[in-house]
Homo-oligomer: A and B are copies of this chain.
Amino acid sequence: MIRVGIVGGTGYTGVELLRILALHDEVEVAVVTSRSDDGMRVDALYPNLRGNIDVCFTRPDVDTLASCDVVFFATPNGIAMLMAEQLLARNVKVIDLSADFRIKDAVDWGKWYGMEHASPDLIADAVYGLPEINRSQIANANLIACPGCYPTAVQLGFLPLIEQGLIDSRHLIADVKSGVSGAGRKASVATLMSETGESFKAYASSGHRHLPEIVQGLSMAAGKQVGLTFVPHLVPMIRGIHATLYAPLETDVTAQLQALYEQRYANELFVDVLPAGVHPDTRNVRGSNNCQIAVVVPQGGDTVVVLSVIDNLVKGAAGQAVQNMNLMFAFNEKQGLQTMALYP
Contact = CB atoms under 8 A, between A and B. Distances in A.
A44 to B, nearest CB: 8
A246 B229 contact: yes
The 7 lowest CB-CB distance pairs between A and B, nearest first, are A199-B283, A194-B344, A48-B341, A201-B281, A193-B193, A175-B175, A187-B187
Interface stretch (A56-64, A115-123, A292-300): A292-300
Interface of A: 12, 15-16, 19, 22-23, 44, 46-52, 171, 173, 175, 177, 179-181, 183, 185-189, 191-203, 205-207, 211, 227, 229-231, 233, 235-240, 242, 244, 246, 248, 272, 274-275, 277-288, 290, 292, 294, 296, 298-299, 301, 303, 305, 307, 309, 338-344
A290 B43 CA distance: 15
B233 A177 contact: yes
A234 to B, nearest CB: 9
Nearest to A272: B50
B342 A305 contact: no
A200 B244 contact: no
A235 B285 CA distance: 16
Contacts of A339: 23, 339
B12 A194 contact: yes
A19 B343 CA distance: 9
B281 A229 contact: no
B177 A177 contact: yes
A45 to B, nearest CB: 10
Nearest to A283: B199
A340 B205 contact: no
B229 A305 contact: yes
A190 B57 CA distance: 20
A275 to B, nearest CB: 8
A231 B187 contact: no
A283 B48 contact: yes
Contact of A286 (B191, B230, B307, B342): B342
Contacts of A287: 287, 342
A179 B237 CA distance: 13
B236 A199 contact: no
A242 B200 contact: yes
Given A185-B192, A248-B171, A305-B231, A238 B48 contact: no
B340 A235 contact: no
Contacts of A230: 298
Interface centre among A183, A198, A292 (most CB of B within 10 A): A198
Contact of A340 (B49, B196, B200, B288): B49
A15 B203 CA distance: 23
Contact of A197 (B197, B207, B231): B197
Given A194-B191, A244-B233, A344-B238, A47 B278 contact: yes
Contact of A343 (B15, B196, B235, B277): B15
Contact of A299 (B15, B206, B237, B296): B206
A82 to B, nearest CB: 25
